[in-house]
Amino acid sequence: MASVDVQNLNKQFGQTPVLKGVSLAIPDGSFAVLVGPSGCGKSTLLRLLAGLEQADSGTIRFGGRDVTRLEPRDRDIAMVFQSYALYPHLTVRENLAFGLRLRKAPAAEIDARVHEASEMLGLGPLLERLPRMLSGGQRQRVAMGRAIVRRPGLFLFDEPLSNLDAALRSEVRVEIRKLHDRLGATSVYVTHDQVEAMTLADVIFVLNKGVVEQAGVPLEIYGRPATRFVAGFMGMPAMNFFDGVVERLGGRAVVTAGGVTTPIDEARFGDALEPGRNVTVGVRPHDVRLVAEGAGVPLPVTIVEALGMESFAHGSLGGSAPFVARVEADAEVKKGDTLHVAFPTMHLFDRLTGASLRTPQP
């Protein structure tokens, strides 16, 4: 088992910089998720950790050992690929045993470990089959089994659930986490799906355009996003954003946006509340409260999405900013109604930089 320490990693493909000075630290035994939109560099970072690409500059350490220039075979890692990458000409058993055979492990040990992995993943009846005779989910498990058998210090997952259907995805997600806990391994997991990130991770690294925008535990990422990007990326449905200006009104700080005025929680945002400051206000649909007419901001509803246990009302705040509000399933909201909403919990971001204006936690 090994901790991962990345310092100032840079990688460029041709003229295009893909990773710009990325640093991160993953404690031993934790499940780290690299999440971000397409092209943010998360897969490249994973491949650099694996040794499948070479960094232009920077260092990578596993458990204190500098592996930056080492070949994959010398890094004590195992990887689960998005497309599983099973050896098509070998049976499941031979796929599992491949890495051990290469290292000339004794036959008895190979058998034992293969047996152990197949027990863990329920691959028993599949051992003599060829990959082309397996379903997607089965192949995925074989891919994981192949990684487990090697008992590496570090597991790398490259979007392993992307090729599975939705139902299978949530099932396998749980399996992966359970496996990680059981093995006590260190795992680095790449995904573009923020639900996977939130549910699997001990620590999340949100990447955007080659830099780490925020690192932290899931609830921190969710509740205290450091940038507008992170705030908008995490959470489903996405956070609502609208531009506004800070003002003082009747002794209290308010933000005016689109002709609507909302009070600001001064405890959270104290330092940044000079009047006239241009801000972007972020409100999660789940943080919206319905209030009586006149007490809140009017929201004319154009579309209602009913999901059964809750509904989402789409409209435009003050007639200009698109806005989604979560309402109870039995609230009987329909198109054409006007809701009145308040934002007890809001996020403020500098309109230019996107940085959060929240007072840092001690």
Give the per-residue contact string, 109-138, with another protein (x = CB under 8 A; - = no): ---------------------x--x-----
Q: 237 preceded by cis ω (within 30°)?
A: yes
> From CA 226, how far away is CA 355, in angstroms rounded?
6
> From CA 235, how far away is CA 233, in angstroms rounded?
7
Sign of CA dihedral 136, 138, 144, 145: negative
As given in the structure block, the two tokens for residue 15 are 């003229």
DSSP state of 170: H
Q: Which of 41, 99, 137, 315 binds another protein (CB under 8 A)?
A: 99
By CB under 8 A, which span of 45-53, 194-202, 237-245, 298-306 interacts with another protein? Answer: 45-53
- Provide φ and ψ at 149, rounded to 5°: -55, -30
> From CA 131, how far away is CA 271, in angstroms rounded?
60
70 makes contact with another protein (CB under 8 A): no
103 makes contact with another protein (CB under 8 A): yes
Q: Which of 141, 146, 180, 284 binds another protein (CB under 8 A)?
A: 146
Q: How many CA atoms lie within 13 A of 241 on its CB side?
A: 17
Please answer whether residues 1 and 11 qualify as being in contact, where contact means their C-beta atoms are separated by less than 8 angstroms: no
Shortest separation between residue 28's beta carbon and another protein, angstroms: 21
By CB under 8 A, which span of 30-38, 77-85, 281-289, 345-353 interacts with another protein? Answer: 77-85
Q: Which is nearer to another protein, 69 or 73 (CB)?
A: 73
Shortest separation between residue 56's beta carbon and another protein, angstroms: 17
86 makes contact with another protein (CB under 8 A): yes
Instruction: Note the residues at the interface with another protein (CB under 8 A).
Output: 50-52, 71-73, 77-79, 81-83, 85-89, 98-99, 102-103, 130, 133, 146, 150
